[in-house]
Amino acid sequence: MFAVHLMAFYFSKLKEDQIKKVDRFLYHMRLSDDTLLDIMRRFQAEMEKGLAKDMNPTAAVKMLPTFVRAIPDGSEKGEFLSLDLGGSKFRVLKVQVAEEGKRHVQMESQFYPTPSEVIRGNGTELFEYVADCLADFMKTKGLKHKKLPLGLTFSFPCRQTKLEEGVLISWTKKFKARGVQDTDVVSRLTKAMRRHKDMDVDILALVNDTVGTMMTCAYDDPHCEVGVIIGTGTNACYMEDMSNIDLVEGDEGRMCINTEWGAFGDDGALEDIRTEFDRELDLGSLNPGKQLFEKMISGLYLGELVRLVLLKMAKAGLLFGGEKSSALHTKGKIETRHVAAMEKYKEGLANAREILVDLGLEPSEADCIAVQHVCTIVSFRSANLCAAALAAILTRLQENKKVERLRTTVGVDGTLYKIHPQYPKRLHKVVRKLVPSCDVRFLLSESGSTKGAAMVTAVASRVQAQRKQIDEVLALFRLTQEQLVDVQAKMRAELEYGLKKKNHTLATVRMLPTYVCGLPDGTEKGKFLALDLGGTNFRVLLVKIRSGRRSVRMYNKIFAIPLGIMQGTGEELFDHIVQCIADFLDYMGLKGAPLPLGFTFSFPCRQMSIDKGALIGWTKGFKATDCEGEDVVDMLREAIKRRNEFDLDIVALVNDTVGTMMTCGYEDPNCEIGLIAGTGSNLCYMEDMRNIEMVEGDDGKMCINTEWGGFGDNGCIEDIRTRYDTEVDEGSLNPGKQRYEKMTSGMYLGEIVRQILIDLTKQGLLFRGQISERLRTRGIFETKFLSQIESDRLALLQVRRILQELGLDSTCEDSIVVKEVCGAVSRRAAQLCGAGLAAVVEKRREDQGLEHLKITVGVDGTLYKLHPHFSRILQETVKELAPQCDVTFMLSEDGSGKGAALITAVAKRIQQARKEN
């Protein structure tokens, strides 16, 4: 019993001594947590540097864009060829992705040797060899007659400008074929394949092994957005936000970046942690001074590092009694598999003895323990360094996503990671320590990079096909210059047509006289009430105009009009309006004073005078019964009477376009056009009386409310209407009516977008082909959402968040498409609106016989005000289509209410004058 204890004591003492000895000797290889954090930070800086356009040329870590933009989503399918060159083994494969709609991948593969005379000989011969192996594979598998796309896994740093091209920056690891560096390996291989006349293969994708690994793992776990190789070489890739990748155009979505972290330190950034062994190993390598980080980590070098340490220890008399064997002196005699074997938990010591004996040494028990510990320190350092760099990537992902906790998956491959007994555990532990705010899952790639490469190839062909389908839809919304000129001409014709007496009741662009004959002249004064009904908000206002000073004070209150009332009976609607007026008067303490009132009513009315107008038909979201054909001023008067609480003097009925023109005209006398681009779309302008056949008199001007929203109701713009416009029209309150408005205004743009999204989803191009209840809901995309989604300042994730808030569960890729759809729809709207406006200003210019016309347009409406691009595109279009007109756009800040009050003031003055006469 005692002897056993003594033995145990002796052994643990021996072990302790050896470990202490090695620890002292390799002090420099043991990295503290602080050092690792420091390395992690250095690597973060390296990534920044590599991603920045100006710094990239001198950056050691190249951060290479891969042009892989999406991880697999399960819809990949097809049959592909794959080559896998650059790891410990060279393979040719046939990959069948997704059989019978299942997520399933079938692979058949064949390994081929890579003799050193091939991989370190002449470059052309290397590619010919690869092509020969492929030909052989195709022959054995009976594939020669087939035209198959090929994905090439090529595990070396390549500069890519597209998926199917890659210029070799430099060979690494064991390869050093002449004349390949700085050439495109895809065309090199393609050329070599041409020697085989019976082979028809198209290389669709060039993929680094890290990328292949990430894609392989992402096929099973969609959270996988990092790929790491710890094999012959070491490297990592991850999904980076496009907005951070200076080297590639475009800001949307993400792209996989091949970091080529093996080159970390090539600029001297790691000199403080490199040891004499690292330097010696580097000097004896194929690429001295290069891949310095890789040389401290990967399988090709780990055994050699151990050998160099053992040799030095032996020389110092710390091992093998100072004896060295010739094998120990020979480069490459200790390999990574030896290191792994010596570190095995149980058999490790026995393995160590065996391996050392094989090296011609005579190790003591103490030597074996010491050698085992050397292996541990070297491989531990490797895992630590890998962990530090990986932690930097995870931190970057977390920062990009702006999340407090990152949940992600890292796909890993490589012989060192796979065969070393402790490596994965150590790596995982250190990563979790360095980035405690990340929940990382490590997923071992079971089937190598090629499965992922096939996925990239499949994704490439899918994206290509889908892009084509999406482009086809968006193309329907792209108007050519000729089409816009045509719209302008047609609008012009409609304007002329509507002004003629004989056509007046038939016209679709109704050209309604408003009985507003002049702009304010500054002499207006008094206190007025105003109503503003028909836009987004219903308002009641008190407007105080002080004469001479062109100053106006306004008090207003917004009231809601419930849907039930908008679409109930006319009586209910007008009673509700009067109720709101009563509330306002109460609120302002105004009851009893019968103030003159201007009624902004944003619907088409046939006016007989300034205070009389029959509603022609509801538009937008209103549909109250018993109003069409009725004089709305009368209806309001009757409702006031019904209430019998107060009296009001309704002086003027005003369309919102007219109110807007007046509001702006108060400040700029050149403002002779009023434009609304809001819930609805409409325009009014000052027309010469002589052109207005329906109203007597030829002198002066009168404002015409064009009601251009009805443009196209006679079918004249069917050529540019799409199936989506038809769909929106059919689902509206007024089918067949207001066709131009339905292509240009806020109430409908979102609906058009929704119809397109439904269609794209049906085609399987969006939302994973699932049409959600939400997407079926009318009106989900209000103007404000469209405006937010299209804002340039918004990162894709924010777009995604908006969509999610709307209840649409979208991926980043979906979000890109949604944004594009919104862009196409709103762009067309702005252009169409611009073409209409160009028709009006050109008409005015020609009517006045002017070479150049200078005119101001007063504008209002949420679409114009909120949308990030609408106003600009509108203005550009007008400039292009009416180059002889100098059009100033003046935003109405105060709404139509102010203009309505001004009109009321003028009307009141005339009324008074008439009475006095």
Binding site partner of 72, from ligand BG6, ligand GLC, none, Cβ cut-off 5-8 A by kind: none
Pairing state between β 681-688 and 701-705: antiparallel
**Residue ranges in 723-752 that form contacts with ligand BG6 under rule CB under 6 A:** 746
Binding site partner of 746, from ligand GLC, ligand BG6, none, Cβ cut-off 5-8 A by kind: ligand BG6
In terms of CB distance, is 242 or 605 closer to ligand BG6? 605
153 belongs to the binding site for ligand BG6 (CB under 6 A) = yes
Q: How many residues bind ligand BG6 (CB under 6 A)?
A: 36
Strand partners, 95: 80, 107
**Residue ranges in 571-600 that form contacts with ligand BG6 under rule CB under 6 A:** 600
137 belongs to the binding site for ligand GLC (CB under 6 A) = no
Q: Which amino acid is at 615?
A: L
Q: Supply the DSSP symbol for 806.
A: T
- For residue 179 the two structure tokens come to 């004349």
Geometric angle at alpha carbon 559, from 558 and 565, rounded to 5°: 150
The helix/strand/coil state of 37 is helix
**Residue ranges in 168-227 that form contacts with ligand BG6 under rule CB under 6 A:** 209
Binding site partner of 88, from ligand BG6, ligand GLC, none, Cβ cut-off 5-8 A by kind: ligand BG6
209 belongs to the binding site for ligand GLC (CB under 6 A) = yes
Q: Pick from 60, 255, 651, 676 the residue near ligand GLC by CB under 6 A.
A: 676
Evaluate whether 554 touches 898 at the Cβ level (below 8 Å): yes
Q: Pick from 50, 166, 363, 604 the residue near ligand GLC by CB under 6 A.
A: 604
Return d(Cα 875, Cα 887) in angstroms, integer. 8
List helix spans (H) across 316-347: 336-342
**Residue ranges in 606-625 that form contacts with ligand GLC under rule CB under 6 A:** 619-620
Evaluate whether 825 touches 870 at the Cβ level (below 8 Å): no
Residue 679: closest CA among 741, 593, 765, 617: 741
Q: How far is CA 505 from the centre of its chain?
A: 49
233 belongs to the binding site for ligand GLC (CB under 6 A) = yes
Binding site partner of 707, from ligand GLC, ligand BG6, none, Cβ cut-off 5-8 A by kind: ligand GLC
414 belongs to the binding site for ligand BG6 (CB under 6 A) = yes
Return d(Cα 778, Cα 728) in angstroms, integer. 10
285 belongs to the binding site for ligand GLC (CB under 6 A) = no
262 belongs to the binding site for ligand GLC (CB under 6 A) = yes
Q: Which amino acid is at 566?
A: M
Compute the least distance from the CB of residue 515 to ligand GLC, in Å.
15
706 belongs to the binding site for ligand GLC (CB under 6 A) = no
Residues 6+ positions from 410 with CB-CB distance below 8 Å:
224, 226, 227, 228, 390, 394, 440, 441, 442, 443
Q: Pick from 82, 153, 155, 415 the residue near ligand GLC by CB under 6 A.
A: 155
Q: Which of 82, 325, 379, 602 is catalytic?
A: 602
Binding site partner of 815, from ligand BG6, ligand GLC, none, Cβ cut-off 5-8 A by kind: none
Q: Which of 188, 381, 462, 539 is catalytic?
A: 539
Helix (H) or strand (E) holding 274: none
Evaluate whether 144 touches 198 at the Cβ level (below 8 Å): yes
- For residue 449 the two structure tokens come to 């990079």
860 belongs to the binding site for ligand BG6 (CB under 6 A) = yes
- Map residues 161-180 to x or -, x wherever contact with ligand GLC holds by CB under 6 A: -----------xx-------
- Map residues 511-550 to x or -, x wherever contact with ligand BG6 holds by CB under 6 A: ---------------------x-xxx--------------
Q: Which amino acid is at 216?
A: T
Q: What is the DSSP string of 141-164?
A: TT-TT-EEEEEEEE-S-EE-SSTT
Three-state helix/strand/coil letters over 339-377 = HHHHCCCCCHHHHHHHHHHHCCCCCCHHHHHHHHHHHHH
660 belongs to the binding site for ligand GLC (CB under 6 A) = no
**Residue ranges in 407-446 that form contacts with ligand GLC under rule CB under 6 A:** none
From residue 490, alpha-carbon distances to 548, 852, 876 in Å are 43, 22, 20
665 belongs to the binding site for ligand BG6 (CB under 6 A) = no
Binding site partner of 862, from ligand GLC, ligand BG6, none, Cβ cut-off 5-8 A by kind: ligand BG6
64 belongs to the binding site for ligand GLC (CB under 6 A) = no
Binding site partner of 600, from ligand BG6, ligand GLC, none, Cβ cut-off 5-8 A by kind: ligand BG6
Return d(Cα 603, Cα 510) in angstroms, integer. 12
Compute the least distance from the CB of residue 232 to ligand BG6, in Å.
3
From residue 262, alpha-carbon distances to 225, 234, 289 in Å are 19, 6, 12
Binding site partner of 449, from ligand GLC, ligand BG6, none, Cβ cut-off 5-8 A by kind: ligand BG6
Is 656 among the residues known to form the active site? yes
In terms of CB distance, is 526 or 621 closer to ligand BG6? 621
Angle between helical axes of 448-475 and 812-847 (0-180°, round to 10): 20
Task: Write out the E strands in 185-268.
Answer: 200-207, 224-230, 234-241, 254-258
List helix spans (H) across 517-666: 563-566, 570-588, 632-643, 656-665
- Number of C-beta neighbours around residue 457 at 10 A: 30
Binding site partner of 856, from ligand BG6, ligand GLC, none, Cβ cut-off 5-8 A by kind: none
**Residue ranges in 69-108 that form contacts with ligand GLC under rule CB under 6 A:** 86-87
532 belongs to the binding site for ligand GLC (CB under 6 A) = no
Return d(Cα 581, Cα 575) in angstroms, integer. 10
Residues 6+ positions from 283 with CB-CB distance below 8 Å:
none
Q: Which of 209, 532, 656, 860 is catalytic?
A: 656
Binding site partner of 210, from ligand GLC, ligand BG6, none, Cβ cut-off 5-8 A by kind: ligand GLC
Evaluate whether 352 touches 359 at the Cβ level (below 8 Å): no
Geometric angle at alpha carbon 250, from 248 and 254, rounded to 5°: 80
Return d(Cα 832, Cα 479) in angstroms, integer. 9
461 belongs to the binding site for ligand BG6 (CB under 6 A) = no
Evaluate whether 606 touches 659 at the Cβ level (below 8 Å): no
Q: How many residues bind ligand GLC (CB under 6 A)?
A: 38
Is 642 among the residues known to form the active site? no
821 belongs to the binding site for ligand GLC (CB under 6 A) = no
210 belongs to the binding site for ligand GLC (CB under 6 A) = yes
373 belongs to the binding site for ligand GLC (CB under 6 A) = no
Evaluate whether 545 touches 664 at the Cβ level (below 8 Å): no
**Residue ranges in 599-618 that form contacts with ligand BG6 under rule CB under 6 A:** 600, 602
Return d(Cα 291, Cα 234) in angstroms, integer. 9
153 belongs to the binding site for ligand GLC (CB under 6 A) = no
In terms of CB distance, is 615 or 817 closer to ligand GLC? 615
3-state helix, strand, coil in the chain (%, to 5): 45, 20, 35
Q: Pick from 413, 572, 687, 751 the residue near ligand BG6 by CB under 6 A.
A: 413
494 belongs to the binding site for ligand GLC (CB under 6 A) = no
In terms of CB distance, is 241 or 532 closer to ligand BG6? 532
Place of tokens 């040797």: 113
826 belongs to the binding site for ligand GLC (CB under 6 A) = no
Binding site partner of 170, from ligand GLC, ligand BG6, none, Cβ cut-off 5-8 A by kind: none
From residue 677, alpha-carbon distances to 664, 680, 863 in Å are 15, 6, 6
Q: Which stretch, 230-238, 240-248, 389-397, 847-855, contacts ligand GLC (CB under 6 A)?
A: 230-238
User: Which residues would be at the binding site for ligand GLC (CB under 6 A)?
Assistant: 86-87, 155-157, 172-173, 208-210, 229, 231-235, 260, 262, 294, 534-535, 602-604, 619-620, 655-657, 676, 678-682, 707, 709, 741
Active site residues: 539, 602, 656
User: Which residues would be at the binding site for ligand BG6 (CB under 6 A)?
Assistant: 84, 86-89, 153, 155, 209, 229, 231-232, 299, 413-415, 448-450, 532, 534-536, 600, 602, 656, 659, 676, 678-679, 746, 860-862, 895-897
